[in-house]
Amino acid sequence: MRAGAPAAALFLAVVAGLYFDEVRPQIEDRVYRGSDGRPFHLPTYLPGDCPFYRATALSLLREKDLDLHDDMAWNVVRPQGQVALGARGEWYPKHPILLPLAALPFYASLGDQGLLAFNVLQVALLDVLVFFLARRLTSDGVALVVAVWFAFGSFLRPVAYNFSPDVFSSVLVVGGYLALVSRRLAAAGLLFGLAIAAKWTNLVFLPIAGTYAIATSGLRPSIRFALAAAPVLLALALLDFHMFGSPFVTPYDRVLGEGFRIEPSHRLMFDRPFFAGLWSQIVDPRLGLLRSAPQALFAVPGFFLLARRARAEAALCAALCAAQMAVFAPYRMWDASNYGHRFWMTAIVLFAVPVAALADRVFRGAAQV
C-alpha cells in the first residue's frame, strides 16, 4: 500500500524547515527615507518586482483599494515601468493581484516576514507537487528522490529567499495538471483559470488543457472544465473594465512611463528573434535552462519513455512545456531574474514527469540486475 499523503505531508514539513533554516541567516532589512521622512523598509528578499506586490497587499489591507499612490516611497522606488495608469488617473498594480491576495493573511499577521514565510511554504508546496507528478509514474521512494533533486538541485532552492509570483503561478498550473490527468475536470478548469489570474501568459495553457480534456474525457464532461474556468476569466475582464474602461485592456497595456505618459504595450516586448532567443535562454551561463535546472537534460530521453507508457499525457506535458518556452523565447526581458530562468519555471517543474519516467526505468533495470 502506497502512503502518498503521509509521505507528502512529511516531505512538505521537512523541506519547508530546511528552506527556513537556509533563508533565515540571509534576512537583511534595508532602511530608506520616504519623502515624508518616515523610514521605508525594503528587505533583501523583496528584490525586483517584489516591492510592488507588497504595495498591492498593503493597499488592500490598509485602504481596501488598488490605488498605489500612497503605498510606496516613490522617491526611493520609481513608479515608471511599475504601475499602470487607470482610467481616472489611479496608479494600479501592473502585476497580477492574485499573489498579494493569497499572501494577505500572512502579511497582516507577520508583516514583511509573513511574505517570506508564505514564499517558503509555496516553494515547499511546489516541491510536494513534484513528488505527486513523479509518483504517478514510479514508486514512492523513487518519486521522493526526484522531488528532492528538484527541491535542492535546481533554482527552486534559491527562490525560497524571495516573494515569487512564478512559484505561485507554477503551483496553480501544476495543480491543474494533476487534476486534469486525474479526470477531475472542474478542479482542473478552476486551477487553470486561476493560473491566468496569476500570470497573463498562462492563457496559452488553457486551449492545450481544454483539448486534452476533450480528447481523453469527451466533449460533454469537458464542459465542467470550461464552466469552472469561466468565472475567473469573467472576473479578470470585469476588473480590467473597472480599472481601464475595457475588458480587453490589461495593466501591461497601460504601464506608466517616463514623463508620466503611458509606455507602449508590454506585449511588444516579445520581439527578439525566436530561435536565437530560445538557444540563448537554454545555454546562458548565468540564468539559462541548463544552469537553472540540469534536470532538463534527463527530461529529453524521459519524454520518449513517457510516450511509450502514456501517450496522451506525454503529449499534454510536452505541449505545456513547449508552449511556455515558445512564448518567452522572443521575450527581451527574460533575464530579469535574481535566481534563474524564472519565466520557464512551470515548464521546468513539469519536466519532473519525464524525469520520473526515466528514473523508474533506470531503478527498475538496476533492481533486475
Q: Is the pLDDT reported for residue 365 higher than 80?
A: no
Q: pLDDT of 272-294, one tens digit each?
A: 999 999 999 999 999 999 999 99
Buried b (16+ CB within 10 A) or exposed e, 88-127: eebbbbbbbbbbbebbbebbeeeebbbbbbbbbbbbbbbb
Which pLDDT band holds residue 366 (cuts at 50, 70, 90)?
Answer: low
Q: Tell me the pLDDT of the chain averaged across its residues.
A: 94
Break the chain down into helix, strand, coil percent, rounded to 5. 65, 5, 30
Q: Can you count the helices (H) and strands (E) in the chain?
A: 15, 4
pLDDT, residue 110, reads 96
pLDDT, residue 7, reads 79
Contact 170, 195 (CB under 8 A): no
Q: pLDDT of 181-219, one tens digit each?
A: 999 999 999 999 999 999 999 999 999 999 999 999 999
**Region 307-336 average pLDDT:** 97
Q: pLDDT of 93-110, one tens digit each?
A: 999 999 999 999 999 999
Q: pLDDT of 46-100, one tens digit each?
A: 999 999 999 999 999 999 999 999 989 999 999 999 999 999 999 999 999 999 9
pTM of the model as a whole:
0.96
Angle between helix 219-244 and helix 205-217 axes, rounded to 10 deg: 160
Q: Is the pLDDT reported for residue 369 higher than 60?
A: no
